[in-house]
């Protein structure tokens, strides 16, 4: 009996995720298949890789050393085979799969057509796209790449900026007629604001005063977990909202919302592609990142929120 790449990939996935269950979910396999691959791999190399106790597994010292050597070796092998497929006969034939995580509003409003063009160019590549406003753990949840809006909070991830956005404070004409129009950030304490459940208010309602960032106290009775839902509540006159311009600019242009305090500078939000560190970078991931940069850096994209 000889070991195979499926056994090595399964072993490394279990090492990364710590459990058979998580590895099986990521690889879309049953737990019994994952367990059998690990057992077969142990038999082939003649060493125990995990200690089993009450349904839990713990890697042995040998497993830790083996994984440290196998990870870069497997990466090199994948890169070599993908590079050969890419260069063969000059054909750009990406294969395999890419799992992509992105925020819901940005994904449905702007990312979907960009990914569609990438998929059309590479029909043999399988794309799995997950739109969710929660901050996903890319490694644990099995994603190759994610789109993040705002400053990076995970220094372990590699990143490349796609473009930038500045949030806008907006409200409906009816709300402003009823409650008045705030002139400065300190006036916000007298108003109802619509909150975002995934980020504390102090991190949403931020303004620039010279080199300093200020976060005035705000309060409200509504909290939602999606930017488009917050926008729609603001259109209905339920309070002030602070949202990325790419979400609210069309409603402002249509007169459904008013840009409040337009002369007060808000913090700049980078929109970035991020991915777990891997060396060498797989061709399919490198080309997707290059595609995203090209798509989101042109005049057409910037015009989505420019006056």
Q: In terms of C-beta density within 10 A (0-12 exposed, 13-18 middle, 19 or more buried), how is residue 40 classed?
A: middle
Find the helix packing angle between 61-87 and 283-295, rounded to 10°. Answer: 60
Contacts of residues 32-37 at CB distance under 8 Å and 24 or more positions apart, as own/partner, are 34/10, 37/6, 37/7, 37/10, 37/11
pLDDT at 125: 93
For residues 36-60, average pLDDT: 87
Percent of the chain's residues with pLDDT above 90 = 49
The band of 135, judged by pLDDT with boundaries at 50, 70 and 90, is confident
**What is the model's pTM?**
0.71
Tokens, residue 105: 């509003």
Percent of the chain's residues with pLDDT above 70 = 89
Q: Which of 3-12, 20-29, 229-238 has the highest mean pLDDT?
A: 229-238
Rounded Cα gap, residues 233 and 306, in angstroms: 23
Q: Which of 8-12, 75-79, 208-212 has the highest mean pLDDT?
A: 8-12
**Residue ranges covered by each domain of the chain:** 5-83, 96-164+270-296, 167-267
Average pLDDT, the chain: 86
Q: Does pLDDT of 302 surpass 90?
A: no
Lowest mean pLDDT among 3-12, 88-97, 269-278, 279-288: 88-97
Instruction: Tell me which CATH homologous superfamily contains domain 167-267.
Output: Periplasmic binding protein-like II (3.40.190.10)
Is 92 in contact with 122 (CB distance < 8 Å)? yes
For residues 128-141, average pLDDT: 88
Rounded Cα gap, residues 288 and 55, in angstroms: 39
Rounded Cα gap, residues 187 and 228, in angstroms: 25
Instruction: Provide DSSP, 92-133.
Output: ----EEEEEEE-HHHIIIIIHHHHHHHHHH-TTEEEEEEE-S
Lowest mean pLDDT among 61-70, 88-97, 141-150: 88-97
Q: Does pLDDT of 97 surpass 70?
A: yes
The band of 100, judged by pLDDT with boundaries at 50, 70 and 90, is very high
3-class DSSP assignment, residue 48: coil
HSE, CB side, 13 Å, CA atoms: give it for residue 220. 25
Residue 48 CA, distance from chain mean position: 36
Do domains 5-83 and 167-267 share one topology? The answer is: no
pLDDT at 152: 67
Given 3.40.50.970, 3.40.190.10, 3.40.50.1860, 3.40.50.10440, which CATH number is that of 96-164+270-296? 3.40.190.10
Q: Residue 215 carries which DSSP code?
A: -
* Residue owning tokens 């473009």: 163
Is 163 in contact with 271 (CB distance < 8 Å)? yes
Query: CATH 3.40.50.11540: does it fit domain 5-83?
Result: no
Closest to 267 in 3D by CA, of 163, 149, 166: 166
pLDDT at 71: 76
Q: Does pLDDT of 275 surpass 70?
A: yes
For residues 194-201, average pLDDT: 90
pLDDT at 103: 94
Q: Which of 3-7, 181-185, 208-212, 275-279 has the highest mean pLDDT?
A: 181-185
Tokens, residue 57: 């597994």
Q: Does pLDDT of 304 surpass 80?
A: no
The band of 224, judged by pLDDT with boundaries at 50, 70 and 90, is very high
Number of helices (H), then strands (E), in the chain: 12, 14
């Amino acid at each position: 009996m000889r070991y195979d790449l499926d056994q090595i990939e399964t072993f490394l996935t279990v090492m990364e995720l710590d459990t058979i269950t998580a590895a099986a979910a990521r690889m879309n396999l049953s737990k019994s298949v994952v367990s059998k691959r690990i057992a077969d791999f142990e038999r082939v190399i003649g060493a125990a890789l995990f200690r089993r106790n009450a349904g839990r597994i713990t890697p042995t010292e040998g497993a830790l050393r083996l994984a440290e050597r196998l990870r870069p070796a497997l990466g090199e092998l994948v890169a070599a085979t993908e590079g050969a497929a890419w260069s063969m006969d000059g054909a750009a034939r990406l294969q395999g799969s890419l799992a992509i995580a992105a925020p819901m509003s940005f994904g449905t409003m702007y990312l979907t057509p960009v990914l569609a063009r990438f998929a059309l160019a590479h029909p043999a590549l399988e794309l799995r796209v997950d739109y969710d406003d929660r901050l996903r753990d890319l490694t644990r949840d099995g994603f190759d790449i994610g789109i993040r809006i705002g400053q990076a909070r995970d220094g372990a991830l590699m990143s490349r900026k796609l473009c930038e956005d500045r949030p806008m404070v907006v409200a409906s004409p009816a709300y402003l007629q009823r409650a008045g129009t705030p002139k400065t950030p300190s006036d916000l304490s007298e108003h109802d604001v619509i909150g975002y459940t995934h980020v504390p208010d102090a991190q949403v309602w931020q303004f620039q005063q010279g080199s300093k960032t200020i976060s005035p106290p705000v309060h409200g009775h509504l909290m939602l977990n999606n930017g488009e839902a917050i926008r729609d509540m603001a259109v209905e006159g339920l309070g002030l909202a602070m949202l990325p311009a790419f979400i609210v600019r069309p409603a402002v242009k249509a007169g459904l919302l008013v840009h409040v305090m337009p002369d007060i500078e808000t913090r700049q939000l980078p929109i970035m592609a991020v991915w777990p560190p891997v060396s060498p970078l797989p061709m399919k991931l490198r080309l997707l990142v290059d595609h995203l940069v090209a798509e989101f850096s042109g005049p057409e994209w910037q015009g989505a929120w420019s006056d």
